Amino acid sequence: MSPLVLVTAIPLVAVLLSRLPLDRRLPFAVTLVAAAANLVLAVRLALRVVAEHEVVAIRDWVALDGLGATLLLLTTFVATTAALFSGGYVATHERELRRVCSYFTQFNLFVFALVLVPVLAEPALVWIAVEFTAVFSVLLVGFDRSQAALEAAWKYIALMFMGAAIALLGFFLLFWAQDLVGSGAPYSWSGLRAAAPAMPPTLTTAAFLLVLVGFGVKVGLVPMHTWLPDAHSQAPSPVCALLSGVKTTTALYAILRLGSLLPLAAMRSWMPAVGLLSVGVAAFLLLQVRDYKRLFAYSTVEHMGIIVTATGLGVTAGAHGAMLQMINHSLTKSFCFFAAGAALLAVGTREIAAVQGLIRTSPAAGAALLLGALAIGGAPPFAVFLSEFSIFRAGLGARQYVVTGLLVTFVTVAFFGILMHVNRMVFGRPATPVGHDERRLPVTCLMTLVLAAIPVVALGVYEPRWVDALVHLAAADLLPGAPP
Amino acid sequence: MITAWLQDLNALAGGLFLLALFGLVATRQVQGCLRLFVALSALLAASAFLLTAIYGVLDLAVVGTVDVVTKAFLIPRLLRRALHDEVFARREVTQVLNVPTALLGALGLAVAAYLLSQPLLRFTGGGAVASNLPVGIAGLLIGGLTAAVRREAVPLFLGLLAMENAAFFAGIGIAPGMPLLADVAIAFDVLILVFVVGVLTRAVQERTGTTEVGELILLREEGAR
C-alpha cells in the first residue's frame, strides 16, 4: 500500500478500534499508537519529498509536494501530542466508558480529515476534506455538553458550513476557468498551475475571493473570526491544540494554494489588506480578553493574518517567511493550548483575573504558560521570532514599507498584550495554598508539555537541513516564479 | 430548436428556484420551510437533468439522481428522526428582521447577484450559464440572509443548506465536467453534516429546553462572565 494511502488509513483503523467499549485505556492507547505511527510515516514522506520533490500515489488525485508535506508533518506532530495530552485530560474529566470511547473516536475522525487535506491533489476533494475537518470536530467542540459549549458548537458549525458553501462556488468557478483554457489538463493542483497563466484573471480572482471569504471563516480571518474565541474557550484543551494548531492552517493551506494561481498584482493587492486587518484587529482584541484560552485564540487570528500578509508580499523571501511562520505557529500554538490546559487542570478556572502566582501553585503549568506566551509572542530566541523577523526583512526587501511598518506595530502590540495577561497570571501572590494543586496534573500532560516544547525551543536555535529544504520547496510551491 | 426549448425550461427551473428561496425567507412555519427546501432540491435536480440533455454530459444525470435521493428524500427524514415532531409544528414568531423587511433585503440581494454575475458572464455566449450562475449567486446570498435572520435551529440550518444547493445550481451550469466522484462525495458530506447537526440540535434542546439557537447568548464577549 502506498504510504500516502496508509497515512489516511491509519486514523480510520483507529476510529474503528477506539469504538470498542472494552477498557477505559484502550481508546487512548490506540489513538496514541496510531498518531505516533502516522508521525513516523509523515517524516519518511517528507524526506522522500525533499529528495524527489513529489510523491504520487494516484496521479492527479493523491499526491504530496513540498507544501503538502509540510502541512502533513505539522498535522501528525500536533495529533500525536494532542493524543498524549488527551489521555490525562479524559482520565480526569470523564468517568463513563461510553464517553471516553466517543471522545477518541471523534478525535481520530478529526485527525483523519486533517491528514486527508494535504494528500489530496484534486481541489474539489480538498473542499470536501476541509469541510470534513469541520463536521468531524463540531461534536468535540461541544463535548462538554454545557450550554456554553453547545452554543459554541452551534455557532461553529453554522459559520463553517456557510463558509463552505461560499467556497464551493469558488471551486466551481475555478474549474470553469481552467475549462475555458481548453488544455485538457486534469483538474488538480498541478493541472491548475500549468493552466493558470492562460486562465481569465477575472474568473481566477472571483474564485479566489469566494474561497478567501468561505475558507477565511475556517481560518478565522477578520471579520469572519467570531466562532474562533468561543470554540477555543469551550473545547477541551487538546482539541483546541488541533483546532488552532492545524485546523486553521489546513483551511489556510487551501486559500494559499488558490492564491498561488493569481496574477502577482492581484495577489499583492488583496492578501496584505486582508492579512493586516486580521493582525490589527486581533492585536487590539487581545488586550481586552478576560479568558486565557480566548487570549491564545485571538493570537491565532493574529498569526493567520501574518501568514496571509507575508505571502501577499509577492516575493519568494515572503513566501519562505510565511512557511516558517506556519510551521512555528502550529508547533508553538499547540504548545500554548497544552499549557493553558495544564493551567486549567491546576486552577479550574479560565478567568485571567482569578489566577495569580501560578508559578508557585503549579510550577509546571506556570512555567509552561510563560514559555508559551514568550514563544508565541515572538520573543527571541524562540522560533516565532525568527520567522517574524524574516517576514519583516522580506517586506523591507520588497519595498513594502507601509505594510511592514503596520505589521511590526501590530505584532508588537500583540506581544505586549499576551505578556501583560500571562505575567499577571504567572507571578504575584497565589490565591490558593502553595503546593496544593501540583499533584492534580496527570503524567501524560507533563509528558506532552515536554515533548511539545522541544521543537518550540529547538527550531529557534537550529534548523535541520531537511526541514530547511522542505521549507524552500514549500515556498516554491506557494509562489512559483515570484521575484526573490 | 430542442436545445432552445430545454434552455427555456432550465431558465424556468431557475426562476422557480429563486421563487422558492423567497418563500424560504417568508415562511414562518418550520414544516413549511422544510417543504420549500425539498422543492429547492427538486428544482436543482430538474436543472441537472435538463443540463444533461443540453450539454450531453451523462454525469449530470447521476448528480441529479443523487441530489433527489439525498436532499429531497433522506435529509428531511434524517431531520425528522433526529428531532421531536413538535419542533416542526412550530411557528417562528420573532425573527431578527420582520418578514417584509427580510423579503425586501432578499430582493436587493437578487438584484446584487444579477449585477455581480455580469462580469463573469462575459466568458460565455449565454445559454444555461446565463441562467444558472446569477440564480446560484442569488441563492448563496439569500440563503445566507435566511440563516442570519432566523432564530430557530431548523430554518436557520435550512438556510445554510439552501446556500449549498445554490452553489450547486451555479456549479452544474458552469462546470458540468466536474469529476463525478467530487459531486457525489459532496452529497455524502452534506448527509453527514445533517446527521451531526441533528445530534447537536437535540443536545441543545435537552440542555436548554429550546431549539431557538439564536437566543443562546452566553458567549457574547461582554456577557460571558
CB contact (8 A) between residue B224 and residue A290: yes
Residue A70: all three cell numbers together: 509540510
Number of folded domains in chain B?
1
Answer with the one of A262, A287, A302 that is the final residue of a domain. Answer: A262
Check whether residue A311 and residue A204 sit in a common domain: no
Å from B178 to nearest chain A CA?
7
Check whether residue A345 and residue A425 sit in a common domain: yes
Query: In this complex, which of B140, B156, B199 lies closest to A165 when CB atoms are compared?
Result: B140
Chain A, 359 to 418: residues with Cβ < 8 Å from chain B are none
Q: How confident is the model at residue B225 (pLDDT cuts 50, 70, 90)?
A: very low
User: Are A287 and A265 a contacting pair, CB within 8 Å?
Assistant: no
Tell whether A350 lies on the interface with B, counting CB pairs under 8 A: no
| Substitution target from A62, A172, A284, A355 for chain B, most B beta carbons within 10 A | A172
Tell whether A165 lies on the interface with B, counting CB pairs under 8 A: yes
Write the DSSP assignment of A376-396 as a string of letters. HHT-TTSHHHHHHHHHHHHHH
Check whether residue A244 and residue A278 sit in a common domain: no
Q: Which of A348, A385, A367, A475 is nearest to A426 (CA)?
A: A367
Residue B219: pLDDT above 80? Answer: no
Average pLDDT over residues B34-54: 95
Mean pLDDT by 10 residues, chain A (484 residues): 93 95 91 97 97 93 95 98 94 87 96 97 95 95 91 93 96 94 87 92 94 96 93 94 96 94 89 96 94 95 97 94 97 97 90 90 93 95 95 96 97 96 89 56 93 94 94 92 78
Answer with the one of A242, A262, A282 that is the final residue of a domain. Answer: A262
Quick check: ipTM above 0.85?
A: yes
Residue A441, domain extent: 263-484
Check whether residue A242 and residue A201 sit in a common domain: yes
Residue B208: all three cell numbers together: 436548554
Which chain A residues are closer than 8 Å to B140 by Cβ? 165-166, 169
Check whether residue A258 and residue A269 sit in a common domain: no
Check whether residue A310 and residue A210 sit in a common domain: no
CB contact (8 A) between residue B185 and residue A128: yes
Which chain B residues are closer than 8 Å to A180 by Cβ? 123
The rounded distance, in Å, linking the Cα atoms of A271 and A274 is: 5
Tens-digit pLDDT profile for residues B65-95 = 999 999 999 999 999 988 888 888 878 767 7
- Could you give the C-alpha distances from A61 to A111, A167, A191, A198, B186, in angstroms and in order? 20, 20, 11, 23, 16
| CA atoms within 13 A of residue B149's CA, in its CB half-sphere | 24
Backbone angles phi, psi at A56, to 5 degrees: -120, 130
Tell whether A184 lies on the interface with B, counting CB pairs under 8 A: no
Please, what's the largest Cα pairwise distance for chain A? 73
| Substitution target from A128, A154, A159, A284 for chain B, most B beta carbons within 10 A | A154
Q: How many CB pairs under 8 A join A and B?
A: 142
Answer with the one of A232, A262, A292 that is the final residue of a domain. Answer: A262
Residue B33, domain extent: 2-215
Å from B134 to nearest chain A CA?
12
Check whether residue A285 and residue A163 sit in a common domain: no
Å from B144 to nearest chain A CA?
7
Query: In this complex, which of A158, A233, A290 lies closest to B147 when CB atoms are compared?
Result: A158
Number of folded domains in chain A?
2
Query: In this complex, which of A135, A166, A291 lies closest to B140 when CB atoms are compared?
Result: A166
Check whether residue A215 and residue A241 sit in a common domain: yes
Å from A139 to nearest chain B CA?
7
Q: What is the pLDDT of residue B223?
A: 40
pTM: 0.95
CB contact (8 A) between residue A166 and residue B137: no
